[in-house]
Amino acid sequence: MNGMLWYGADYNPDQWLDRPDILARDIELMKKAHISVVSLGIFAWSALEPAEGDYRLDWMQEVIDRLWAAGIRVDLATPSGARPAWLAQKYPEVRRVNPDRVRQLFGDRQNHCYTSPVYREKVRAIDQALARRFGRHPAVVMWHISNEFGGECHCELCQQAFRDWLREKYGSLDAINRAWNTAFWSHTYTDFSQIESPAPQGESAMNGLILDWKRFVSHQTTDFMKWERDCVREIVPEAKVCVNMMYRFDMIDYFEMGREIDLASWDSYPTWHKPTQTFEETAIDTAMMHDLIYSVKGQPFWQMECTPSMTNWQGVSKVKKPGVNLFSGLQAVAHGADGVLYFQWRQSRGAFEKFHGAVVAHDGREDNRVFAEAARLGALLEQLAPVAGERKEKQAAIVFDWSAKWALEGSQGPRNKGLGYWEEITRHYAALSRLGVNVDFVNEDAELSGYRLVVAPMLYMLREDFAAKLRAFTQNGGTLVVTYWSGVADDTDLCYLGDTPHGLCDVLGLRRLEIDGMYDGETRRCIPAEGSPLAACTCGTLCEVEALEGARPLLLYDEDFFKGHAAAAVNDFGAGRAYTLASRFEEGFYLPFYRGICEGLVTRAWPDELPAGMLAVRRGRFIFLQNAADTPNRAGDVELPAYGTAVFEDGKRIL
């Protein structure tokens, strides 16, 4: 249903089949909490098929009918995230093989081989049994395909699939040998069967192979997801599917998977209230993931999971303080969520997650803070229904490409102590976020039209076609920011020969001379160049030395052998402007830098400067003002308590 913000939770009635009283009470409490949808039966396979081919779906029928009667819709899960013991025992090939080539035993979850024909067949059978029985039930509005896809398998079936994938991609061994520069250390392949996935006791040095393995793992995982999707759609062609994605997850290119689903979603578990970060920093970090998941499809998403109170797997299980659950639910909506769901509705009695927070805890009561806040958020989301479906205006884009990240982080040098890629991205994102500028994330397949500002942090792997897009974007009046260690290698991780940043030297008006690694805590002073609006600051991590060929310096290194060289520069190119940031600067650098750039370029969500902790986000005709601070705060005449939110529709306050 459009026109509403969904509110719900993972619901596991399969754990309570011997307690009909509890199942009945669930519905009663869901109504009180304003629940409109549940993700049903995510790990219910052994209750649905206790023995091979023996389907027991009646209990689920009863649950779905009861939910429907109460006006609650179902996001029906395919149960492939965890398989029954009988399956793992009878068909060893479904169990994953680790990088060291040891096959796993039965246990845990999301650890099956995505290539295994047996696993695919068994999954097909259960998915289609569910689709036949429930696919046309009016309550079922969405399919939750598996759960948090991830991991990799190194079995013989996967090795073969990897080789087939390479053959398809490159056509010949010669092309592979060239693409990976296998002449290095005499690694030239003479037969496809010699190619093996990376292993601790085998290949760990061939950058191109490792990069392609990561791409293959993402491809194979997506292929498995498509298999499940198509099994369901064979029975119910109009079925809508979603997958739940994860925080900073490295193993799947979510842009690739996102193309194959109807709805993107993610599971959000920030460690609120940690002593090493302000509440605002945690909020901005979370907002960044919301914006990345929004960008996966460029449309509203769901926050598929979060805890109403605490997790049980973080180092310290901290409870969300009063007001924080409201803050985080509304923050998701501000950044484009059309659904806010919890893990989990009811706390399980035993096993790994028995102490994980839930809307209903072991005491089964509704007269407590967690339930009351959950119910309040449900009521507010009903009130905010007009926000549903609203898009975010295209303003700034940060380039984030999974392949480019794998290549960057998979290379040896110039700093094996950690490149801090997310840290770099966060500095740009945080500044733009504090300025109330909408940020999308784009990969190297993206079209850049519509954006006013494009930021390319550490775009080490820069494809020729994307370099051409960045050039055209700037030429046509866009503002481009490129950092150090960009335009170094091509899409098989071969270094570009000649001047770098490849394809951008004339756009940026400079070329790279050298790059120096800094130890943790080691910094270099920078001073403003003549006439520059920027203030003196320090930088570290990596210091790139540029030869300016047309660009004007903004900051100059003030120490070390590169003293006097530009640490930041700007170049006019066509109708646009391109900035180079040659190092990672102290955090305080970025806000004034972007404030200057955004002046006259984009309309910020809040017209005046906001005090520290206040964040404003525009979503269509709505503006969300949130106090991401532990104390009351004020912006103009709007006063908000700690973690408070105000919402404006066309300038008029509605919350």
What sign has the CA pseudo-torsion 56, 76, 287, 31? negative
| Residue 305 interacting with ligand GAL (CB under 6 A) | yes
| Residue 147 interacting with ligand GAL (CB under 6 A) | yes
Q: Which member of 93, 148, 280, 544 is catalytic? A: 148
Closer to ligand GAL by CB, 148 or 212: give it: 148
| Residue 269 interacting with ligand GAL (CB under 6 A) | yes
476 in Cβ contact with 451 (< 8 Å): no
Q: Which member of 49, 305, 544, 546 is catalytic? A: 305
500 in Cβ contact with 549 (< 8 Å): no
Closer to ligand GAL by CB, 349 or 417: give it: 349
| Residue 247 interacting with ligand GAL (CB under 6 A) | no
Residue 68 C-beta: closest distance to ligand GAL, Å: 24
The answer to whether residue 559 is catalytic is: no
CA distance 171 to 166: 8
Residue 6 C-beta: closest distance to ligand GAL, Å: 17
| Residue 373 interacting with ligand GAL (CB under 6 A) | no
Contacts (Cβ under 8 Å, ≥6 apart) of 281: 430
| Residue 580 interacting with ligand GAL (CB under 6 A) | no
Closer to ligand GAL by CB, 305 or 544: give it: 305
Beta-bridge mates of residue 131: none
Residue 48 C-beta: closest distance to ligand GAL, Å: 17
488 in Cβ contact with 461 (< 8 Å): yes
The site for ligand GAL, by CB under 6 A, has a size of 9
The answer to whether residue 148 is catalytic is: yes
Residue 268 C-beta: closest distance to ligand GAL, Å: 10
Q: Any alpha helices (H) in 252-346, and if so which ranges?
A: 254-258, 279-297, 324-334
Closer to ligand GAL by CB, 353 or 630: give it: 353
| Residue 267 interacting with ligand GAL (CB under 6 A) | yes
Q: The tokens 């005090």 sit on which residue?
A: 611
CA distance 64 to 404: 44
| Residue 338 interacting with ligand GAL (CB under 6 A) | no
Q: How far is the CA of 464 from the CAs of 503, 508, 544, 589, 653, in angstroms?
A: 7, 16, 22, 31, 47
Site for ligand GAL in 406-425 (CB under 6 A): none
Closer to ligand GAL by CB, 16 or 180: give it: 16
| Residue 302 interacting with ligand GAL (CB under 6 A) | no
463 in Cβ contact with 491 (< 8 Å): yes
Site string for ligand GAL, 339-368 (x = CB under 6 A): ----x---------x--x------------
CA distance 250 to 256: 13
Residue 265 C-beta: closest distance to ligand GAL, Å: 11
What is the signed CA dihedral for 331, 334, 336, 341, rounded to 10 degrees? 40
Name the 3-class secondary structure at 23.
helix
CA distance 627 to 636: 13
Single residue of 14, 49, 148, 285 touching ligand GAL by CB under 6 A? 148
Residue 148 C-beta: closest distance to ligand GAL, Å: 5
Closer to ligand GAL by CB, 149 or 400: give it: 149
Single residue of 111, 282, 311, 411 touching ligand GAL by CB under 6 A? 311
Closer to ligand GAL by CB, 305 or 401: give it: 305
SS percent in the chain: helix, strand, coil, step 5: 35, 20, 45
| Residue 111 interacting with ligand GAL (CB under 6 A) | no
Closer to ligand GAL by CB, 93 or 148: give it: 148
Burial class (CB in 10 A: 0-12, 13-18, 19+), 92: middle
* One-letter amino acid for residue 140 of the chain: V
Q: Which residues bind ligand GAL (CB under 6 A)?
A: 147-148, 267, 269, 305, 311, 343, 353, 356
Catalytic residues: 148, 305
